[in-house]
Structure 1
Amino acid sequence: MIAVRQYLASIRSQWTALERDWQSVAVGAAIVALTAAVEIQIPW
């Protein structure tokens, strides 16, 4: 359990170290990947 907490803490610190612009890019990429993975049709 300690290893999981340390892993999550390292991810959190890396995330906060990113600039806001890169966080937006990462969130956008995750949304696109998720919609592609579950094959959601987005009407543009």
Structure 2
Amino acid sequence: MSIERLWVGVATLRSRWRALERDWQSVVVAAIVVATTVALEVRVPW
């Protein structure tokens, strides 16, 4: 295995980790919005 292939693998792993972090951040933000809406009893026109 060449060192170049190893670096490509590391870059791929970092990219997937960052995408996962973004997904979790989106989930947290959505949960905060929902909790705030429920807590303040804001009526959302769906």
| Fold equivalence (TM over 0.5) | yes
Which structure is richer in relative contact order (CA contacts within 8 A, separation 6 or more)? 1
Q: Which category of TM-score, normalised to the shorter sequence, fits these structures?
A: 0.5 to 0.7
Percent identical: 63
Instruction: Give structure 2 stretches of 5+ with no counterpart.
Output: 1-19
TM-score of the superposed pair, with normalisation by structure 1: 0.58
> What RMSD in Å do the two structures reach over aligned CA positions?
1.3
Instruction: Give structure 1 stretches of 5+ with no counterpart.
Output: 1-17
**Bigger Cα Rg:** 2
**Structure 1 runs of 4+ with >3 Å offset:** none
Equivalent pairs counted in the alignment come to 27
